[in-house]
Amino acid sequence: MIWNGSTGIKGVSAWRILNGCTGTKGVSAWKIWNGCTGIKGVSAWMILNGCTGIKGVSAWRIWNGCTCTKGVSAWRIWNGYKGIERGLCMEELERVHGY
């Protein structure tokens, strides 16, 4: 879905993101790359250095396939799928299934 122009976010296409519009009001891709994410207190520098500004979620965990969003792994997001049980964070699997 993502590579074919749909990010799954209402009204936001991958084309728009690549061309400088994230679909978040007042935030352009240019601003994100230049250190402003549009999230209060969170800069792009912080994200690249391991802090996403989401409680309990580090950039390292996201890049390593765990977004800590129930049922969604980074791998599955990049491949255009989300919400599948096998994409759960390991922490979620342990909590939900006792693995």
Contact, 25 vs 31, CB < 8 A?
no
- The per-residue pLDDT for range 38-82, each reduced to its tens digit, is 455 555 554 544 444 454 455 555 544 455 454 455 554 544 444
Q: What is the DSSP string of 3-15?
A: TTT--SSTT--HH
Can you tell me whether residue 34 is helix, strand or coil? coil
Q: Is the pTM of this model over 0.85?
A: no
d(CA 1, CA 89): 22
Tokens 């994410």 sit at which residue?
37
The band of 1, judged by pLDDT with boundaries at 50, 70 and 90, is very low
